């Protein structure tokens, strides 16, 4: 048996407080002891891991395999009783969340930088999840953050790498390492929530789907569930093999990075339904023949139709959205008399509401949708929700949206991202705007009049914890709104996100960017963006 060894170490820089993990350049992670120190700090965040059960997996990006071995040795050295690892180190974020919950584990580690590109010169990340299957809350990330600064050693073993291709149990020191099929338990959960027979019949009737796994982790899940179990035509799932560099692309399901799929639904021979997921499988983009569904509209449509799906037949307890997500879902909640919460950006804020049974459904404008079945957003789940609903109603995606807008009105929505900005410039811009907020109501911003201007803060209704400075929200007369916030997940400079929204009772039926032009003009006049950043157009529009 191998005895733990203590390796002298030094504190690390780069950990942002507040994020439920750590994202950095892959090369930074590869430079020992960067990863080791963060992992040792994570053990501190868990209050030690002696005798505990952990789940470990990743999205298969470059360095995942080596990082998994480092973490297994460290888990054993610190006395973990058992680590459940996805075969070949693979687990999508939702599958990891499911395993943690199903196996009653004390927590988990997911090796992924999500939608950020992978490779030796790109990004890597370590996400930390708790016993409820959800991202670590602020209290724990704070502990981890503090530990990264004080650390002066880490514990590991001197052993050979384990064979993670072989399912079953092995031992490492006194720790049981259980290599598990990454797909099986997740597929079983989907079988419980959805009417697989009905979806099977939909495909039998000739309904065509194209699912783009973007060379990332959802490939094996989508092939098993959509093609093998539900009978979608072979080849419906494209880019299905997880690659260390995701084929050189950004595994980010949006109109820019999933351009091919986007173009396919607007071209000849378009499938009835198309969808894509991100690096770690927690995001989804939904498309239909000739139509792109904004994530905010998708959440609203799912909320309005969830009762058609077996897992949600008894109705929803409540709904939550991140504050920058459009208010489309609020209108559904109001019509159905359901509580509706607006939380800060990031899935961790939904955890308490889900655990307390206050909400059933939640989502973010950033292609994230989920429910109380897990404590992470879930890409394939959203796809199956849509398929189950379409199988019941017999409508197309386009018709579903038309009908939704006819009933609830249409909330035009778009997010403009300005990436790799000079950090000081971006911070100065937001700080100055924050300082001006009290004076803004009643004044004009470009073509619009400001009604309300707030620096969003959130008090958790369950534990009363407070999160401040979660985005600048400016509401205009005429049911329009702009939100500005700086990204917490970028790894280069600063990313400014501008969220634009405008409601119309009787659908303006024109291009969303046209409908939102006055809101963008107002944002420009409030920020002097072009002059200050030298940018005249966003890098990404979703
Ligand atoms: C982005 C999204 C946010 C999401 C987060 C993690 O954060 O805007 O809604 O929860 O990514 O998603 P930010 O701080 O860059 O805006 V994932 O798929 O990377 O776990
Ligand atoms: Co993700």
SS3 state at 71: helix
User: 436 vs 19, which has greater pLDDT?
Assistant: 436
Of ligand 1's listed atoms, the one at least distance from the Cα of 322 is 9
Q: What is the pLDDT of residue 149?
A: 85
The predicted structure's pLDDT at residue 508: 58
CB of 347 within 6 A of ligand 1: the answer is: yes
376 close to ligand 1 (CB < 6 Angstrom)? no
pLDDT digits (tens, 9 = 90+) for 103-128: 999 999 999 999 999 999 999 999 99
Tell me the pLDDT tens digit for each residue of 252-292: 998 889 999 999 999 999 999 999 999 999 999 999 999 99
Cis peptide, bond prior to residue 33, ω within 30 of zero: yes
Q: Give the whole-angstrom CA distance, residue 374 versus residue 353.
A: 12
Q: What does the pLDDT read at residue 13?
A: 62
Tell me the pLDDT band of 536, cut-offs 50, 70 and 90: confident
In degrees and rounded to multiples of 5, residue 32 shows phi and psi of: -60, 140
**Higher pLDDT pick, 511 / 444:** 444
Q: Are 67 and 119 in contact (CB under 8 A)?
A: no
Contact 195, 166 (CB under 8 A): no
Q: Which residue in 411, 484, 486, 503 sits closest to 445, CA to CA?
A: 484
Give the ligand at the shortest distance from the Cα of 281: 2
Domain boundaries 5-182, corresponding CATH code: 3.40.120.10
- Determine the straight-line distance between the first and last CA of the chain, rounded to whole angstroms: 54
Mean pLDDT, residues 183-201 taken together: 98
Question: What pLDDT is recorded for position 15?
Answer: 56
Interatomic CA distance for residues 146 and 136, integer angstroms: 15
State residue 139's pLDDT score: 86
CA 482 vs CA 327, 509, 522: distances in Å: 12, 21, 8
The helix or strand, by DSSP H or E, that contains position 472, with its residue range, turns out to be strand 472-476
Please check the confidence at residue 196 and state whether its pLDDT lies above 60: yes
pLDDT band for position 516 (cuts 50, 70, 90): very high
Q: Among residues 537, 468, 480, which one has the least CA distance to residue 508? A: 480
Q: Distance, CA 242 to ligand 2 centroid (Å)?
A: 14
Distance 253 CA to ligand 2 centre (A): 10
Say if residue 357 is exposed, middle or buried (CB neighbours under 10 Å; 0-12, 13-18, 19+): exposed
Please report the pLDDT score of residue 221 as a whole number.
98
Structure confidence at residue 335 (pLDDT): 96
* Residue 345 beta carbon below 6 angstroms from any ligand 1 atom: yes
CA distance 261 to 244: 21
**Ligand 1 atom closest to the CA of 19, numbered from 1:** 14
**CA-closest residue to ligand 1 atom 17:** 114
Mean pLDDT of the chain: 93
Q: Which residues surround ligand 2, an ion (CB under 5 A)?
A: 114, 278, 280, 282
DSSP 137: P
pLDDT at 17 over 90: no
The CATH code of domain 410-541 reads: 3.30.310.50
pLDDT higher than threshold 70 for residue 407: yes
Catalytic entry in 20, 76, 112, 114 = 114
Q: Which pLDDT score is estimated for 340?
A: 97
State in words which class domain 186-408 has: alpha beta
Closest ligand 1 atom, CA of 489? 15
Burial environment of residue 201 by CB neighbours within 10 A (0 to 12, 13 to 18, 19 or more): middle
DSSP state string for 347-395: THHHHHHHHTTS-SEEEETTTEEEETT-SS--HHHHHHHHHHHHHHH--
Ligand closest to Cα of 487 equals 1
pLDDT higher at 17 or 152: 152
pLDDT value at 18 more than 60: no
- Token look-up 């702009």 returns 482
Ligand 1 center–CA 119 separation, angstroms:
20
pLDDT at 381 over 80: yes
Residue 369 CB–ligand 1 contact under 6 Å: no
Residues 6+ apart with CB under 8 A from 519: 448, 476, 480, 481, 482, 500, 501, 502
Cβ neighbors of 307 (< 8 A, separation 6 or more) are: 313, 315, 316
Fold matches, 5-182 and 186-408: yes
Q: Is pLDDT above 70 for 379?
A: yes
For residue 126, give Cα distances in angstroms to 42, 149, 528: 10, 17, 36
| pLDDT value at 426 more than 80 | yes
The pLDDT, as a whole number, for residue 21 is: 79
* Host H or E run for residue 23: strand 21-25
Q: How confident is the model at residue 505 (pLDDT cuts 50, 70, 90)?
A: confident
Mean pLDDT throughout 83-97? 97
- Reading the block at residue 538, the tokens are 């966003």
- Report the distance separating Cα 83 and Cα 73, nearest Å: 11
Query: For residue 507, what pLDDT band results from cuts at 50, 70 and 90?
Result: low
Domain residue ranges of the chain, discontinuous segments joined by +? 5-182, 186-408, 410-541
* Ligand 1 touching residue 350 (CB < 6 A): no
Confidence (pLDDT) at 441 = 95
Instruction: Give the C-alpha separation, 355 to 270, whole Å.
Output: 41
Contact 90, 190 (CB under 8 A): no
**What ligand 1 atom has the least distance to the C-alpha of 376?**
20
CA dihedral 415, 419, 424, 430 (to 10 degrees): 0
In the residue annotation, 32 being an active-site residue is answered as no
Examine the pLDDT at 1 and tell me if it is beyond 80. Answer: no
Confidence at residue 8, expressed as pLDDT on a 0 to 100 scale: 73
pLDDT tens readout for residues 293-324: 999 999 999 999 999 999 999 999 999 999 99
SS3 letters across 185-234? HHHHHHHHHCCHHHHHHHHHCCCCEEEECCCCCHHHHHHHHHHHHCCCCC
Query: How far is residue 361's CA from residue 317's CA, in Å, rounded to a whole number?
Result: 8
pLDDT tens-digit readout, 450-494: 999 999 999 999 999 999 999 999 999 989 999 999 998 777 789
């Amino acid at each position: 048996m191998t005895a733990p060894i203590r390796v002298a170490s030094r504190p690390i820089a780069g950990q942002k407080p507040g994020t439920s993990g750590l994202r950095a350049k892959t090369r930074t992670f590869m430079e020992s002891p960067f990863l080791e120190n963060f992992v040792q700090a994570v053990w501190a965040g868990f209050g030690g891991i002696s005798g505990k059960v952990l789940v470990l997996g990743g999205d298969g990006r470059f360095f995942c395999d080596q990082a998994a071995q480092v973490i297994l040795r460290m888990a054993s050295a610190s006395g973990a009783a058992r680590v459940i690892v996805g075969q070949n180190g693979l687990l999508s974020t939702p599958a990891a969340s499911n395993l943690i919950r199903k196996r009653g584990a004390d927590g988990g580690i997911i090796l992924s930088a999500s939608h950020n590109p992978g490779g030796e010169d790109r990004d890597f990340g370590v996400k930390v999840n708790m016993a409820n299957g959800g991202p670590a809350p602020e209290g724990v990330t704070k502990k981890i953050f503090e530990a990264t600064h004080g650390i002066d050693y880490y514990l590991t073993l001197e052993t050979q790498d384990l064979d993670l291709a072989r399912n079953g149990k092995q031992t490492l020191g006194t720790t049981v390492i259980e290599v598990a099929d990454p797909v099986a338990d997740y597929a079983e959960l989907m079988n419980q929530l959805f009417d697989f027979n009905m979806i099977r019949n939909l495909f039998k009737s000739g309904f065509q789907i194209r699912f783009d796994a973007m060379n990332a982790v959802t490939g094996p899940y989508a092939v098993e569930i959509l093609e093998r179990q539900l009978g979608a035509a072979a080849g419906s799932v494209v880019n299905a093999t997880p690659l260390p560099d995701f084929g050189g692309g950004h595994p980010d399901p949006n109109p820019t990075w999933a351009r091919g799929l986007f173009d396919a639904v607007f071209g000849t021979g378009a499938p009835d339904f198309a969808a894509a997921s991100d690096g770690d499988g927690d995001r989804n983009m939904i498309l239909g023949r000739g139509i792109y569904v904004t994530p905010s509209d998708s959440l609203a449509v799912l909320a309005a139709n969830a009762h058609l799906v077996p897992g949600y037949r008894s109705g929803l307890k409540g709904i939550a959205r991140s504050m920058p997500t459009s208010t489309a879902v609020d209108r559904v909640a109001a019509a159905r008399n359901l509580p509706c919460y607006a939380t800060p950006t990031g899935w961790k804020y939904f955890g308490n509401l889900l655990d307390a049974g206050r909400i059933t459904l939640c989502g973010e404008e950033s292609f994230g949708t989920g429910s109380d079945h897990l404590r992470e957003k879930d890409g394939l789940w959203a796809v199956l929700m849509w398929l189950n609903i379409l199988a019941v109603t017999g409508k197309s995606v386009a018709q579903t949206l038309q009908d939704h807008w006819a009933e609830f009105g249409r909330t035009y929505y778009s997010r403009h991202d300005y990436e790799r900005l000079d950090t000081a410039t971006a911070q100065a811009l937001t700080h100055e705007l924050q300082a001006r907020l009290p004076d803004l109501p009643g004044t004009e911003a470009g073509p619009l009049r400001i009604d309300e201007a707030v620096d969003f803060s959130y008090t958790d209704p369950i534990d009363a914890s407070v999160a401040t400075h979660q985005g600048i929200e400016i509401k205009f007369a005429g049911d329009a709104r702009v939100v500005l916030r700086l990204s917490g997940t970028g790894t280069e400079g600063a990313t400014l996100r501008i969220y634009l929204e405008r409601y119309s009772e009787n659908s303006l039926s024109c291009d969303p960017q046209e409908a939102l032009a006055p809101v963008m003009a107002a944002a420009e006049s409030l920020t002097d963006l072009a002059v200050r950043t030298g940018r005249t157009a966003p890098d990404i529009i979703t």
